[in-house]
Structure 1
C-alpha cells in the first residue's frame, strides 16, 4: 500500500482491508511511519516513537474492530507499561509507568497497533500545545498556528494523515478544541462513561475524560464502543445503551429543537468566522428538518462557571505538582513557570473557596437540566477566535520577570496585583469560552468540522447534549457528515 492510498481510509476502513487480507498490519505500520517521517519534523506532533513496542504487538494475533490499525496515544494520563508518561513535563521524563491505563489496554484489546505518544502542554494545562520540554506542535492547515490543546499532538497527527484516529482526553475542551483547530471529529464522553483507572478514579472530580480525535464519525462511534464501560476501580458503574454507538449511525435522529448562542461574558464579540461556523451548522440543521433558535444569552451563569472552573483547575494543578515532586524528588525548577504560577494561585485559595468552586457545578447542572426540558441540544461555536499563532500567549517579558521573582521569593499572593492573573484567565478562556460547560456539568459534547474560512482554516461547530446523550450526538453527527461531508478535505503538509 502506498502512503497516499493509506491516507484515504479511516480506521475502520483500514481494519476492513486487513480483515479481507488486502493489506497486512505491518504494511499499515510502515505507511504510518513513512508518513510520520515525512511530515512530523515540521509539525512536532509525536514526542516518543514506540517502534519496539509496535513490533512486539505485531508478533501476536490481533483481534477487535480496529485490528491492525496504527494508533498514537496522548502522552498524558494514557500510560503504557514500562514507558514514561511525561505529561509535557521534564519532571516525569524518566518515571516509567508500572502498568497500562485501562483505556490503553482497551485500545490494545481493540486490535490497535500503538507506535507512539503525542505532544501535549505540561499537565494538559492549556488550550494550546507548546511545552518547554518538547516545543510547540503545529497545525497542519497552517504551521504558524496552534493545533489546539491539550490533545494538540494527536489532532495534528490525524489531520496530517499519520494515523486516522488518535488517543485524546478532555478536562476543559482538550478533545474538542484541537478537533476544531484541525478539522476533525472530537467527542467528549459524559462523566464516568469511560474509565480513568486503574491508578486514577475520577480525574478532576470526573471533569476529565478519555476519548479520541478522528476523521470520521464512525471511527469516533466505534472507539467509544471499544473504551466505554466501568471497571473494578471505578467509583460507579456507568449506564450504557443497549445498542452500540456505531449502530446509531444508520438512522437519522428525529426532528430536534436546538438553541444556540455565540456571545459570552468572556468574549462578547467572537470572531465572525466563529459565528459563521455556528450559523452554517444551523442552516444545515434547518435544511435537515431540525428547529434552531437563537438564545438571548447562555442558559447558565457563564462568568461564574469560568471562574469556578479555573479556580478548581489551579488547585488541581497545585496538587499535581506536589504529587510529582513527592514521587520523583524533583524541585520546583523542574516545572514550567506558567504551571508554577497557576499552581501558586491554586494554593492561595482557601479550602472553602475550592469547595465553593467544585460544588458550584451543581448550580450549572440544574441550569442546564432546565434548559434541556425545552431543547434537545445546545449549539455554539467551538472556538471564539481563529486558532492562535504559535507563541501568541507567551507572557510579555516584564510580567515574565515579575512572576519569576515572586515565585522565588514565595510572595505569590502579590501575583494577583501584577496583571499575571488577569492575563492567564484571559488567555485560558476568552478564545475558548464554550467548552468548559460540558466538563463542569459532566455532559457529553462534540465538535464537528462543518466550516472552513476563506483562508482554508477549519472552525468547528460545538454541540452539548443532556446526560446520556452520546448516542444522540453520534446520530446527529452522522446525519451532518452525510449532508456536508468533510472526508475529502486534507491538510496538504509535506
Structure 2
C-alpha cells in the first residue's frame, strides 16, 4: 500500500509536499523505487538502477531548490554521473564508467533531484525507436506491442507509466519530441546553446543535439529549463538570454493572438498517416477557437536538402563515434562490436568527404536564415510531430535479406560502392519517412515542442509539433500552458500502466 498518492503529483508537486513536510524524502524515493520495480519488468525502460546512490544523496540536497528530493531518471547517453557506467545502448561500452559528471548532470543536480537510474536508448541514440540489441526493446505504456519512440524512449516510457515525473532526454533529430508524441507527454527541444553540453565537448552532433527533459506537465519542463539554462564556458553556442522565468511565463495568459502557419505535408514528399493529419487539423481548429490566426503554409526550405544535410552529419558522427571507441576498447572497433546498421552508417561516414560535410552545414545555415525570415510573419509553425503512429515492436527491424546485405557490405568495407549506388537517397527516405518533421529545428537551432492533443481509435497518442524562432522557448511555453488547460490535452494517466 502506498504511503501517499505518489503518481498524482508532478515533480514540482512532490517537491512542495516534501518542503511542507507532508511526506519525507525517503518516502518519495521508496515510492519511485516501488513503481520502477513494478513497471520495469514489462516496459524495460530502466537499464541501470541507482537506488543506493539516490538514497545516499538525500542528505546533501538543498531543500530550498525547486525539485528538492524529486526522483529523476537520466538517459543512458551523454548524461554521465562520475563513477557510474554509461553504455549509450551499446555492448561495446558495457565496461565503461564515467570519470566526471556531465555539465547537464551537474546542473540538474543543483535543482535538487535525486538520480534513481538510467533509461534505455537505441545504440548510440541513432534510431527513432528504442530497441537496442544489447538491452532489448522498451515498450509503450499505452500499448506494450508498440514502441515508445526514440531515442529517449526509455525516459518517455518511465514518465508515462508514472515511475518518475521527470526524466532526462536529448534531441538530435527528434529524440525528445518523437517519444513525447508517442507516449502522450510534453517534450520541448530547447534552442541550440540553451542547455549545457560540456565539460568534455562544446557541442553534440555539431550543435544539432541538445539536452533537456520529458515530463507530464508543462510547468515541470519550464521550471527545469529555468535551472538548466545559462552561460557555460565549454559551450560552442549560446542562446539569447530570456529575461524572466519559463515557469512564470507558462502560467501567464497570452497577451496577444498568435499568427501560426501549419502544414500536413511531409517535407520529403513521403506519405503522412491520416491520424497524424487529423491531429494537426484538430490542433489548428483548437488554436483558432482560442483566437489565434492559423494559415496553411509550408516552411520556405528544401526538405530534401535538409534531410540529406542531416544524414551527412549523422553518418559522420557515427564514423567518429566508432573511431573514438578505440580509447575505450584499446583497439580499433570491429563490426562485431556494434549493431550491423550502426557499422553500415559508420562506413557511409567514412566515405563522405570534408567538402560534403561543410556543404551540409551551410545548408543548415541557409535554412536557419530562411526560417528567421519566416518567423517575421508567423509566430509559430505547426506540423505533425511524426508522420506515423507508433510502430509495432520489431516492425522496423531490417529484413533477413537486408541484414545479409548489411553484413556483407560491412564485412567487405564497401562504403564507397554503397554510396555510388544511390542508396543514401533510399536510406534518407526509409529512415526519415516516419519522422520527417523534427530534423528542421535541430539543424536551424530553433526550439520546438510536441504537445499531446490526439489519441487514435486504437488508443495510441499522437503529438503535434510547434516550432518557434530561435530563442523563442517563452512563446512555446506560454502557448503550451494555454493548451494544457483545454479538454483536448491528453491525460497521460489514462494509459493502462499508469493506474497499475
Q: TM-score range by the shorter chain?
A: over 0.9
Select the residue among 407, 411, 425 that pairs with 2:414: 411
Q: Are residue 399 (structure 1) and residue 402 (structure 2) matched?
A: yes
Q: 1:291-312 deviations in whole A, cap 9, x for unaligned?
A: 11112x4421111101110111
Deviations 1:2-31 (A, max 9, x none): 278111111000111001101111111111
Distance 2:58 2:267 in 1: 52
8 Å contact from structure 1 (residues 265, 302) kept in 2: yes
Deviations 1:371-413 (CA, angstroms, capped at 9, x unpaired): 1121110000101101111111111111211221221122222
What is residue 14 of structure 1 aligned with on the other side? 14
What corresponds to 1:381 in structure 2? 384
For residues 62 and 161 of structure 2, the distance between their equivalents in structure 1, rounded to whole angstroms, comes to 26
Once the two structures are TM-superposed, the CA of residue 277 in structure 1 deviates from its matched residue by: 1.1
Q: Deviations over 1:275-300 (max 9, x none)?
A: 111111111111111011112x4421
Segment of structure 1 superposing worse, 324-333 or 278-287: 324-333
Q: How far apart are 1:237 and its partner, in Å?
A: 4.5
* Contact 2:279 2:453 (8 Å CA) reproduced: yes
Is the contact between residue 87 and residue 94 of structure 2 (CA under 8 Å) also seen in structure 1? yes
Are 1:492 and 2:496 matched, yes or no? Answer: yes
**CA offset at residue 235 of structure 1?**
2.9
| Contact 1:403–1:420 (8 Å) recurs in 2 | no
Instruction: State the partner residue of 1:328.
Output: 329
Mapped partners of 1:418, 1:7: distance in 2: 53
Distance 1:87 1:475 in 2: 34
Residues 206-229 of structure 1: CA deviation (Å, up to 9, x unaligned) = 110001010000001001011111
Q: Report the equivalent of 2:263.
A: 261
2:207–2:237: 8 Å Cα contact kept in structure 1? no
Distance, in Å, in 2 between the alignment partners of 1:237 and 1:294 is 32
Residue equivalent to 2:72: 71
Gaps (5+ residues) in structure 2? none
Q: Distance in 2 between matches of 1:470 and 1:61?
A: 29
CA deviation digits over 1:240-266, x for unaligned, max 9?
A: 211111010232222000000011243
State the Cα deviation string for residues 334-392 of structure 1 (Å, max 9, x = none): 11111110111111111101111112111111211121121110000101101111111
CA RMSD of aligned residues (A): 1.6
Distance 1:146 1:4 in 2: 31
Q: CA deviation at 1:268?
A: 3.8
Query: SS in structure 2 opposite 1:259?
Result: strand
1:407-442 Cα shifts (integer Å, max 9, x gaps) = 112222233477864553233200111100000000
Question: In the aligned structure 2, how far is the partner of 1:151 from the partner of 1:277?
Answer: 22
In the alignment, the residues of structure 2 paired with residue 265 and residue 69 of structure 1 have an alpha-carbon distance, to the nearest angstrom, of 40
Aligned to 1:438: 441
The answer to whether the 8 Å contact 2:299/2:374 transfers is: no
Structure 1 counterpart of 2:279? 277
Q: Does 1:464 align with 2:456?
A: no
Partner of 2:72, secondary structure, is strand
Q: How does 1:364-375 map to 2 (within 5 A)?
A: 364-375=367-378
Equivalents in 1 of 2:142, 2:294: separation in Å? 30
SS in 2 for 1:169: strand
Q: CA deviation at 1:327?
A: 3.2
CA offsets, 1:456-490, max 9 Å, x none?
Answer: 11100100000110000000000000123434633
- How many residue pairs get matched? 493
**Structure 1 Cα separation of the partners of residues 475 and 420 of structure 2:** 46
The answer on 1:477 being equivalent to 2:477 is no
Q: TM-score under structure 2 normalisation?
A: 0.95
Q: Does structure 1 conserve the Cα–Cα contact (< 8 Å) formed by 2:344 and 2:409?
A: no
Q: Which residue of 1 aligns with 2:84?
A: 83
Equivalence map 1:218-367=2 (5 Å): 218-253=219-254, 254-295=256-297, 297-330=298-331, 331-332=333-334, 333-367=336-370
Distance in 1 between residues matched to 2:457 and 2:3, nearest whole Å: 28
Superposition TM-score, scaled by structure 1 size: 0.97
State the distance in 2 between where 1:3 and 1:380 align.
Answer: 42
1:178 aligns with 2:182: no
Q: Does 1:55 align with 2:58?
A: no
Q: Deviations over 1:183-218 (max 9, x none)?
A: 000000000011111111011111100010100000
Corresponding residue of 1:163: 164
Matches of 2:88 and 2:469, distance apart in 1: 31
Task: Give the Cα separation in 2 of the matches to 1:74 and 1:488.
Answer: 21
CA distance in 2, matches of 1:424, 1:29: 44
1:119/1:134 contact within 8 Å kept: yes
Q: How do 1:65-144 and structure 2 match up within 5 A? A: 65-144=66-145
1:160-196: per-residue Cα shift (whole Å, max 9, x none)?
Answer: 0001111000000000000000000000000001111
Shift of 1:59: 2.8
